[in-house]
Amino acid sequence: MRDSRPLVIFGESVLPGESKNIQLEIARLHTTTKLTIPIIVKRSKIAGPVVLFSGGIHGDEINGIEIVRQLVSKKINKPKKGTIICIPIVNIYGFINKSRDFPDGRDLNRVFPGSRKGSLASRFAYHIITDIMPLVDYAVDFHAGGAGRFNAPQIRLTPNNPSVKILAEAFNAPFTLFSKNIAGSFRSASEKLNVKMLLFEGGKSLDINHDVAQEGINGVKRLLKHLDMLDLKHYAPPSKKQTIYIEKSGWLRAKCSGLLIDNNLVGQFVKKGTVLGMITDPFGKFERKIKAPNDGYILNANHSPIVYQGDAIYHLSNTGEDELEEE
């Protein structure tokens, strides 16, 4: 619970009951052009937690950006109490170039907590961790599947973390996956600062999916209601189903190269032997069915029309021994 003192972000002071757009500039392009990142802060007059909603750590994952944008445009980010910080696009550099990475070629989500004197991505990560995250109590970071792979809407959280699991239950995405923190990730660095963070995955890169975005927005409403921060004019729709917990999962890989014909089963439960798709060649010489090696949910499907032998094509849940692999 934060008190009623001013919240200071990058030298800008935000008082209780005040709203402010803070323009963050850390570096410039090689053309000397300034690139600023809006940090949208809204505070209630009533003291309460500080919650961060962020998207676009990978600049090509536009679905997450769209979710945070709608939180702002629909004024869901105006809290009943406490403070809500929205950063729709963390990696503005990648967004402009429709790229996952920073201009220095680094994946921003692998350089946290960063360094004040490091690479461009590292310096940026350092300022996020140093100047914003110590103020935050709870966070949701929105992502989408990379490399043309479509994620069913899901929350990811670290195992054996009951306080974060309570937040996942409140968010109530269709799926909740237990996954270990990745070294250098935003989530890992934030949790070391005792920020309770949920990671949302949904949709695919360079794409906006309405249904996925709506799942994210509804989840945010339920989470804010759980924290007693949702403005009464907003309705938090209860989920028709409780989230499905996934403790074990893995990737089914292409056994040959060719054209991938997907049967569009992502998000569904399938039985062992179900045909998930087919790999064929452009000359009509062969067609090889891709069958589920076990019963489970399809959590991710590769939507790339061309795959090579060994490419990850389907991410399935599994409760027993399997022939699936980590990505």
Say which CATH number the domain at 191 has: 3.40.630.10
Same domain, 261 and 119: no
- Per-residue pLDDT, 148: 86
Read off the CATH number of the domain in which 299 is found.
Answer: 2.40.50.100
Kindly tell me if the per-residue pLDDT of 184 is higher than 70.
Answer: yes
Tell me if 235 is assigned to some domain.
Answer: no
Angle between helices 210-226 and 62-73 (to 10 degrees): 50
Residue ending a domain, choose from 191, 226, 261: 226
How far is CA 132 from each of CA 73, 160, 290, rounded to the nearest angstrom? 22, 26, 46
Same domain, 204 and 285: no
Same domain, 134 and 58: yes
Same domain, 256 and 219: no
- Per-residue pLDDT, 1: 55
Across 48-65, average pLDDT: 96
d(CA 213, CA 219) in angstroms, rounded, equals: 10
Q: Are 37 and 89 in contact (CB under 8 A)?
A: yes
- Per-residue pLDDT, 277: 97
β-strand 50-55 against 138-145: which pairing, if any? Answer: parallel
**Residue written as token pair 């990745």:** 182
Confidence of residue 2 (pLDDT cuts 50, 70, 90): low
- Per-residue pLDDT, 114: 93
- Per-residue pLDDT, 104: 82
Q: Are 221 and 230 in contact (CB under 8 A)?
A: yes
Residue ending a domain, choose from 211, 226, 241: 226
Tell me if 206 is assigned to some domain.
Answer: yes
Tell me if 232 is assigned to some domain.
Answer: no
The count of domains in the chain is: 2
Residue ending a domain, choose from 192, 211, 226: 226
Same domain, 153 and 220: yes
Kindly tell me if the per-residue pLDDT of 320 is higher than 70.
Answer: no
Same domain, 281 and 208: no
Tens digits of per-residue pLDDT, 12-25? 999 999 999 999 88
The set of residues, in sequence order, having a beta carbon less than 8 Å from that of 73 and lying 6+ positions away, is: none
Same domain, 141 and 257: no
Tell me if 289 is assigned to some domain.
Answer: yes
> Which of 127, 134, 51 has the alpha carbon at shortest distance from 85?
51
How far is CA 294 from each of CA 179, 254, 270, 298, 311, rounded to the nearest angstrom? 20, 16, 8, 11, 19
Tell me if 1 is assigned to some domain.
Answer: no
Same domain, 194 and 263: no
Domain around 282: 250-317
- Per-residue pLDDT, 79: 97
Q: Are 136 and 85 in contact (CB under 8 A)?
A: yes
Q: Are 3 and 30 in contact (CB under 8 A)?
A: no
45, burial (CB in 10 Å: exposed 0-12, middle 13-18, buried 19+): exposed
Q: Tell whether pTM > 0.75.
A: yes
Same domain, 207 and 310: no
Same domain, 213 and 257: no
